């Protein structure tokens, strides 16, 4: 591994499992010191901290509910205090609530917006205050921002579409400072919450995928690491899809 991120300081929200954990591991292998947030399982977070420290970099786990703006702010502050700054922010925390219009609760709507949109803004605003030229902000969006082909996903799709407008606007704010901001938009990815086996997965692979398989969390992490690296200073305000042709 080339360690293109050596001595960089990164915060990954929602980093203890799934795509977030893969991003934590990949950035650490590239040489970055890592802070990540988790919502519930301290044991899982502690195991990942030990794994990352074995790579020779610093690692801290921060319990934070992304629906709580004060917790998000505290996570940014602790990252800066313990790592000495912040060069990379990856907004990976997210929730998936689905249901038909007539049954979708306002509580689920509010949580979706709080975690998938507001927390991204809160973390970005707080982290940017500590960032210097060359810093990177990367959001984990969804291919559903551009295509929602089945019922029940309207609010989730809306929340991920909001990130497209957010990064386009913030690219203008942050560009003069030499800070880039982009979305990575995964399609179906094999995780504990979205396994690549079962009736729903087989339906997606057969009906919607050009590459008839789910992606891996490591494939998403590779794209994130590229955007976090030194060769992407001219990429900003973009939404980059990694979806096996789901949106083709």
**SS3 of residue 50 by DSSP:** helix
Length, in residues, of the chain = 248
* Rounded Cα distance, 177 and 169, in Å: 14
Residue from 49, 45, 19 nearest 34 by CA = 49
Residue from 125, 126, 118, 222 nearest 163 by CA = 118
156 is catalytic: yes
Q: How many CB atoms lie within 10 A of CB 17?
A: 20
Q: 108 is written with which tokens?
A: 């689920």
Catalytic choice (156, 214, 226, 234): 156
Catalytically active residues, by annotation: 156
């Amino acid at each position: 591994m080339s360690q293109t991120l050596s001595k960089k300081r990164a915060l990954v929200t929602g980093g203890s499992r799934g795509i977030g954990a893969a991003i934590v591991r990949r950035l650490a292998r590239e040489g970055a010191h890592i802070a990540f947030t988790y919502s519930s399982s301290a044991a899982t977070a502690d195991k990942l901290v030990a794994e990352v420290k074995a790579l020779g970099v610093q690692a801290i786990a921060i319990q934070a509910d992304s629906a709580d703006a004060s917790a998000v702010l505290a996570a940014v502050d602790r990252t800066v205090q313990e790592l000495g700054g912040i060069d990379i922010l990856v907004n990976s925390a997210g929730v998936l609530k689905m249901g038909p219009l007539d049954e979708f609760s306002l509580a689920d709507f509010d949580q979706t917006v709080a975690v998938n949109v507001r927390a991204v803004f809160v973390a970005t605003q707080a982290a940017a205050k500590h960032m210097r030229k060359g810093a990177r902000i990367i959001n984990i969006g969804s291919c559903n921002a551009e295509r929602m082909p089945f019922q029940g996903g309207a609010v989730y799709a809306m929340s991920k579409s909001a990130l497209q407008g957010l990064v386009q606007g913030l690219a203008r704010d942050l560009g003069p400072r030499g800070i880039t901001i982009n979305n990575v938009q995964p399609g179906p990815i094999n995780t504990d919450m979205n396994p690549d086996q079962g009736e729903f997965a087989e339906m997606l692979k057969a009906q919607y995928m050009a590459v008839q398989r789910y992606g891996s969390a490591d494939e998403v992490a590779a794209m994130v690491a590229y955007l976090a690296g030194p060769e992407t200073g001219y990429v900003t305000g973009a939404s980059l899809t990694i979806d096996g042709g789901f949106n083709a």
